[in-house]
Structure 1
């Protein structure tokens, strides 16, 4: 392995901070000691820190049993093989102090042993930490909403850690962060509700926060202690708590006036939801015991966050359904729909939580609530009908998509337009501009351009910087959009029903002819569907025959993969004609059917190994096709490379995070040893890259320990 000098100067050029090797810094924080041992022999081959002054004058080349005792050596030797496993082995006595010992398995038959000063100060005193954690967790359960939960969590973590300031920091959709709760000592400046730009926490640091979920910097003014002997190969210290942190991050803390810090990750469904950030004005050490308690408490907090978010989503769906049940019978009763719509405009406005509602009927406009001028409503109706092609149009930032919409922003920054083919009606819901004063911890737009000879350093100012965001309204939720689709279907049915009643009697013959035409249309659609399905089946059968006849195994595999991709497209086509709603599709149901088809083609051994954990997610149909092809390709990759052709566990999970979805295809096979899986050179990889570009999403690969996790992130809608 290549070696590099240990970085000790925090004033160095940090322009490449996103590429900095923070996992293998080659040094530790000096408050503890680190020993690197060879697992087969149990002998120490490297170390860092003041080992000679605090543990043993002679240590290099000695056995762990000699240095740390037989009990520790026995436990370390019994650790599972393979990087990623960690154990705490109690305490050992140094020259003048006791050390808490933690061991980690590294790559290449290496073991890292951390020795940190053992501290006994805990908030639970001489009692049981489990009782204390249980009491705090019970308090989490009793909170009424997410805001109250985060406030209580901030207080609990401050009591646990003893830090001057503890913040609950949540990542937003655009990867910036917001302090949603804070507990602080008297005299401390508040960061509550302040935003921090995404650049403050680079992408690679976020990935490390998911892996190593507690981090502590007892003294931000420390000098790193390099690994010895000099020239020792770099090792991955991702799991080591003593790992020296980035000089950029140290300077960042100093610029904030922070002398000691700690952070505990809030990881929800494998994704970084947020962090517990702890700051102290003077050096402060967080012992391994307290870090373990903090990690356990963060796990309970994560479960409560999930419960609160799911409950909020359920209440929103329940509210919309209840409002629809009360409204639709009055809209779809006997008589024309137009008078009923005009009479129920206040209810229609309320159901979507809009600030204004308008109905455009020909050249006439009927309004309720706070609406734009009539000429603006007519222009918005005309433009949205042209833009959406007669489908539902939704935006929370009208000025960004509609030309000359600036004057409408005050009353119509948010617009949901629903053209109705029947009667030439257009229903428009407006949401007024939501002027938002965003408090930033420092100016996020400050130029980072460098002059010749200047070095890039972390921003030095964290004073409150206010930014006024205009031209946006509160976002329309996917549940509200789906409710608008249901309303459209109900109005369509009501219009048809009214028309049928009006034509009954004198126009009975016309009605019969219309029914015949509708039946003929249905037969024609079924015939078209049948022929399309036959064509797809013919192509699939042809590919299967070609695969059987192919002598070249590579050609045969490529034909089988092409057949699987064809199945992904055909499955969406079948569902389009099976469901009433073709604009959106239930992605979980679609993936279940898709995997079911693949199980049949893969055989009984693979069928038993593929597991699904899918949450319901509504997604536009065209995006489902691309995701289906990506899922097919990832499953094919797992079956080909993860287990060297043999059958093994493959798990497909699906979750929704705000306006994004996360799909994970994970195996327990060879992991990154199969680099060909993700090198991007094959047809499948190029196809997945093209699909993700269409979706404005990304695919990342991470260790599954064992195996590989393919993480697909994409917006749910364009």
Structure 2
């Protein structure tokens, strides 16, 4: 669970982020740990715990196979590719039996042994129970019902006094969204914890090692021996020693035992199932495995219900939009049409107030401040460049609005094309009371050199947050952009109809001018495309005649980058929304072009999994060039120049997107060429990050960036 600290605000709390919790140098004493050489013989060279009393009197230097009674080579041979641990095996000890799990740990094999408390449930019984719980998850009507059912299911599985579903919010703070507990315990439901409570390295371990258990907080850690081995990375070891700060935190909380199961959605840490018990309690390995499997099913159900809710919202917005559009295509001016549907526009986006500011004319619907305030907001929006704006905390951007927060803490502003008018959707202040497990702002005196300690008070502390409204959803913002285009189209249609009536005798001339303009635009696009194709052909010719393979490769890379730019240019003249691009469609077309340039053999090996993401056009250009570089690197280094499997995926997570390029090849590239340096610069321009990981086998490159510019 979280580790809130009570400290002076001047202290550097990032020290928690630097604690090497993956190298504790010790384990919890309920288990044992053997460290063996990875080479032939697998001699045991180090260990931790009461090995002499519980497993074997003489163990150091002996082959691992003798201690475990297993053919280690056969065991490792059957280890599934890409996994770090073998299936659990039963090992007899001195007066007890252990469940052993073998991990690969760099140049060593790590074997953790946990005592078998009793006969585990049969496979058929476990599968039947998991199937029943999964069915109840599927039948949940909404996310809150799903969370509540999950808390009950995990408490039934683990037997802990308290089980909480702990979700990470957009700002990385955490909130207990569901809880199942012993009635005698106080509730933590809906309580929040700041983002600093769980350090970055701890979150990384939660993704890597999905379960963790502390049978008792009052234990003396068993150090690795000999001492020279206390630096070994124990990230994958379930019995590793826990941070002393966290143990003291649990003692202060009155918790004697705890367990955590990670909820990982789309490769990211969504939240935790946090379990607390008021007396020592062991969570056996078979139960942990069942819990991890159930957590994976829970993550899939969360994703399915989130997507279903977003889809239903899109359908509702589309229906409201289709209901209003015919009224916009009437014979009356656009402003009059908007005034006629102002109530519907307000209700469509669930706003408390709506206003249209057009010069000195102000029309309103619902709860709105005075006209001079609305006019001031419209001037401020124009001064910002006249771009659409959505915020749930207007006072932070426009201080003058703080005096009217009760009416307009949230704002969605939409300047209209070709109109001196701005549409304003307003949302009233939503006073939110946040429950904290203790006062997060309380400080204690800490003298220089004193060790940070966890707080001792967990009394519920309420904090009232003002000046914020309900957030605008991505679907609502997208609907507002569509309305803007519809208004623009309605105005154009009205102008055309008016001109047709007023200048009937000039209709032929006007049609000719419009046709000429269209031809001119097409000609401009045609000439640009011809120029780009000419440069591409020149590069291709130079590549064929180049005497140096290095020069030929550079020319081929330049040709691929040119193709990415050419594709975006074609989209600018083809789409009606030039400021944004459907990134999935763009990537699909870009890869289609690259299939042609790379050849049929590569074309058959490239697989796409693309989610629709609407991004600004300038960001799409950079993303296209980054994708081009990643594909070029894969074709050059992954398979030694030969063709091989290449998977490309595009995902959206809230306000961020992830572009993934994965191969099954050698798993590395030089990373020092011009293309790599250019790609790093483009990633920084997107305010994003790019990470490389082992694809087991091959290389997995993940570029994460905000959808909109920060």
Per the normalisation by structure 2, the TM-score is 0.91
Moved more, 441-450 or 38-47: 441-450
CA distance in 2, matches of 1:711, 1:370: 46
Q: Which of the residues 416, 419, 425 maps onto 1:420? A: 416
Q: Which of the residues 436, 457, 460 maps onto 1:464? A: 460
Q: Is the 8 A contact 2:661 2:702 kept in 1?
A: yes
Gap change, CA 1:642 and 1:195, over 3 Å in 2? farther
Q: Which of the residues 143, 146, 151 maps onto 1:154? A: 151
Which residue in 2 is equivalent to 1:699? 690
1:386 to 2:386 alignment: no
1:541 to 2:549 alignment: no
Moved more, 496-505 or 237-246: 496-505
1:247 to 2:244 alignment: yes
Q: Is the 8 A contact 1:436 1:470 kept in 2?
A: yes
CA distance in 2, matches of 1:15, 1:419: 43
Which residue in 2 is equivalent to 1:97? 96
CA distance in 2, matches of 1:397, 1:307: 30
Gap change, CA 1:701 and 1:341, over 3 Å in 2? same
Which residue in 2 is equivalent to 1:51? 51
CA distance in 2, matches of 1:512, 1:485: 34
- CA deviation after TM superposition for structure 1 residue 354, in Å: 0.9
3-state DSSP class of the match of 1:92? strand
3-state DSSP class of the match of 2:303? helix
Q: How does 1:550-561 map to 2 (within 5 A)?
A: 550-561=546-557
Which residue in 2 is equivalent to 1:571? 567
Which residue in 2 is equivalent to 1:488? 484
3-state DSSP class of the match of 2:405? helix
Q: Is the 8 A contact 1:358 1:366 kept in 2?
A: yes
Q: How does 1:274-293 map to 2 (within 5 A)?
A: 274-293=271-290
1:228 to 2:225 alignment: yes
Gap change, CA 1:510 and 1:496, over 3 Å in 2? farther
Gap change, CA 1:552 and 1:430, over 3 Å in 2? same
Q: Is the 8 A contact 1:14 1:248 kept in 2?
A: no
Q: Is the 8 A contact 1:320 1:480 kept in 2?
A: yes
Q: Which of the residues 208, 211, 215 maps onto 1:211? A: 208
Which residue in 2 is equivalent to 1:324? 321
- How many residues matched? 697
- CA deviation after TM superposition for structure 1 residue 188, in Å: 2.0
- CA deviation after TM superposition for structure 1 residue 422, in Å: 4.7
CA distance in 2, matches of 1:631, 1:676: 17
Gap change, CA 1:435 and 1:632, over 3 Å in 2? farther
Q: Is the 8 A contact 2:26 2:230 kept in 1?
A: no
Q: How does 1:119-268 map to 2 (within 5 A)?
A: 119-120=117-118, 128-232=125-229, 234-268=231-265
Moved more, 622-631 or 698-707: 698-707
Which residue in 1 is equivalent to 2:678? 687
- CA deviation after TM superposition for structure 1 residue 451, in Å: 4.6
Moved more, 371-380 or 199-208: 199-208
3-state DSSP class of the match of 1:524? helix
3-state DSSP class of the match of 1:300? helix
CA distance in 2, matches of 1:293, 1:505: 74
Moved more, 203-212 or 178-187: 203-212
Q: Which of the residues 600, 609, 613 maps onto 1:604? A: 600
Q: How does 1:397-436 map to 2 (within 5 A)?
A: 397-402=393-398, 404-422=400-418, 424-436=420-432
- CA deviation after TM superposition for structure 1 residue 341, in Å: 2.1
Per the normalisation by structure 1, the TM-score is 0.90
- CA deviation after TM superposition for structure 1 residue 54, in Å: 0.6
Map Cα deviations across residues 390-429 of structure 1 (whole Å, 9 max, x no partner).
x433222222333533224322222222223455332221
CA distance in 2, matches of 1:704, 1:76: 22
Moved more, 142-151 or 93-102: 93-102
CA distance in 2, matches of 1:144, 1:428: 34
Aligned CA RMSD, in angstroms, stands at: 2.7
CA distance in 1, matches of 2:274, 2:122: 24
Q: Is the 8 A contact 2:157 2:287 kept in 1?
A: yes
Gap change, CA 1:605 and 1:16, over 3 Å in 2? farther
- CA deviation after TM superposition for structure 1 residue 165, in Å: 1.3
- CA deviation after TM superposition for structure 1 residue 126, in Å: 11
1:112 to 2:103 alignment: no
- CA deviation after TM superposition for structure 1 residue 127, in Å: 7.2
Which residue in 1 is equivalent to 2:614? 618
Q: Is the 8 A contact 1:82 1:107 kept in 2?
A: no
CA distance in 2, matches of 1:588, 1:424: 34
Map Cα deviations across residues 259-289 of structure 1 (whole Å, 9 max, x no partner).
2211111111211111111112222111001
3-state DSSP class of the match of 1:245? coil
Q: Is the 8 A contact 2:55 2:94 kept in 1?
A: yes
Moved more, 253-262 or 618-627: 253-262
- CA deviation after TM superposition for structure 1 residue 299, in Å: 1.5
Q: Which of the residues 639, 645, 660 maps onto 1:664? A: 660
- CA deviation after TM superposition for structure 1 residue 506, in Å: 4.5
Q: Is the 8 A contact 1:266 1:272 kept in 2?
A: yes
- CA deviation after TM superposition for structure 1 residue 505, in Å: 4.1
Which residue in 2 is equivalent to 1:645? 641
CA distance in 2, matches of 1:491, 1:296: 50
Which residue in 2 is equivalent to 1:7? none
Q: Is the 8 A contact 2:417 2:484 kept in 1?
A: no
Gap change, CA 1:511 and 1:434, over 3 Å in 2? farther
Moved more, 456-465 or 424-433: 456-465
- CA deviation after TM superposition for structure 1 residue 512, in Å: 4.0
CA distance in 2, matches of 1:86, 1:392: 51
3-state DSSP class of the match of 1:86? coil
- CA deviation after TM superposition for structure 1 residue 158, in Å: 0.8
- CA deviation after TM superposition for structure 1 residue 320, in Å: 0.6
Q: How does 1:18-97 map to 2 (within 5 A)?
A: 18-39=17-38, 40-70=40-70, 73=72, 76-80=75-79, 84-97=83-96
Moved more, 654-663 or 239-248: 239-248
Gaps of 5+ in 2: 1-11
Gap change, CA 1:255 and 1:698, over 3 Å in 2? farther
CA distance in 2, matches of 1:223, 1:547: 68
Moved more, 333-342 or 343-352: 333-342
- CA deviation after TM superposition for structure 1 residue 437, in Å: 2.3
CA distance in 1, matches of 2:124, 2:550: 65
Q: Is the 8 A contact 2:82 2:697 kept in 1?
A: no
CA distance in 1, matches of 2:169, 2:588: 30
Q: Is the 8 A contact 2:256 2:278 kept in 1?
A: yes
Which residue in 2 is equivalent to 1:338? 335
Which residue in 2 is equivalent to 1:497? 493
Q: Is the 8 A contact 2:645 2:664 kept in 1?
A: yes
- CA deviation after TM superposition for structure 1 residue 340, in Å: 2.9
3-state DSSP class of the match of 2:635? helix
Q: Which of the residues 455, 475, 480 maps onto 1:479? A: 475
Map Cα deviations across residues 347-378 of structure 1 (whole Å, 9 max, x no partner).
11111111111122331111110112101111
Q: Is the 8 A contact 2:317 2:479 kept in 1?
A: yes
Gap change, CA 1:491 and 1:512, over 3 Å in 2? farther
Map Cα deviations across residues 640-684 of structure 1 (whole Å, 9 max, x no partner).
33334333322221221122222222223333xx3743xxx5433
Gap change, CA 1:399 and 1:532, over 3 Å in 2? farther
CA distance in 2, matches of 1:14, 1:585: 41
Gaps of 5+ in 1: 1-12
Q: Is the 8 A contact 2:85 2:103 kept in 1?
A: yes
Q: Is the 8 A contact 1:84 1:239 kept in 2?
A: no
CA distance in 2, matches of 1:245, 1:648: 44
CA distance in 1, matches of 2:507, 2:622: 42
3-state DSSP class of the match of 1:504? helix
- CA deviation after TM superposition for structure 1 residue 381, in Å: 1.8
Which residue in 1 is equivalent to 2:266? 269
Q: Which of the residues 519, 522, 536 maps onto 2:518? A: 522
